[in-house]
Amino acid sequence: MSTIGALLLSGGKGTRMGGNTPKQFLTVGGTPLSMYSFQLLSSLCETVVVVCSSTHHDIFPRGTLFADPGVRRQDSVYSGLRALPPACDWVLVHDSARPCLRIEDVRSLLEVGMKCGAAALGVPVKDTIKECNDAGQVVRTLDRSTLWKIHTPQLIRRDWLEEGFEKIIREGATVTDDVSIAEWLGKPVTIVPDHATNIKVTTPEDLPMVEQWLATVS
Ligand code: C5P
């Protein structure tokens, strides 16, 4: 039987948001943002490890498993991975700054990901995307019909994540999401369609959308 361990990333400083409270702990509807996905992941996964600084541990229920955050997002994932019980053979990584995820999308991700080894939620790109140089000049226009915006959660086989971390640490690589680690190993990664409402709170203008969505579902 497969066992899924979730890593809830709550270790960022949220500098683009401004203010003293990291964005994942801002309160919406009386609840810190991180708690929305903590509750959802706890209902689906055998184990949840929260990666966050000890100053925020008291937000979570007694008995919660914690790991210390690292400097970069990938360092926090690595720290959480080492805190997962050995029985967890699948790792589900989620940014707690995305509180609006839907349980049916996470279920689809788990179903697809457990068949193919690595999968992420994402949405097709709506805008035209151009690659530019430092002077702001267009280098090329990408083919929009093949582009996806990648969200979290992302599911990956634990042995792939461990092997991939060995490789990226050896090569000094930086990755901004988790299935990239499987890509580094040359493993196939599948994208599972998500809802566009699963946005990541990054700057202050993201908050009203999240407040509105959370108010409609609670
Ligand atoms: O910075 P970014 O928006 O990409 O962060 C995505 C998620 O990763 C957030 O939930 C943030 O708290 C977490 N993070 C972390 N450790 C870091 C950087 C980000 O846990 N060093």
Angle CA 104–105–107, to nearest 5: 65
- State the DSSP H helix or E strand holding residue 6, giving kind and residue range, or none if neither: strand 4-9
195 pLDDT more than 90: yes
| pLDDT tens column, 115-171 | 999 999 999 999 999 999 999 999 999 999 999 999 999 999 999 999 999 999 999
Residue 187, class by beta-carbon neighbours within 10 Å (0-12 exposed, 13-18 middle, 19+ buried)? Answer: middle
CB-ligand 1 contact for 200 (6 Å cutoff) = yes
Phi then psi dihedrals of residue 19, to 5 deg: 80, 175
Going from the Cα of 131 to the center of ligand 1, the distance in angstroms, rounded, reads 25
| CA angle (126, 72, 93) in 5-degree steps | 60
Higher pLDDT, 14 or 136: 136
List the residue whose alpha carbon is closest to atom 6 of ligand 1. 95
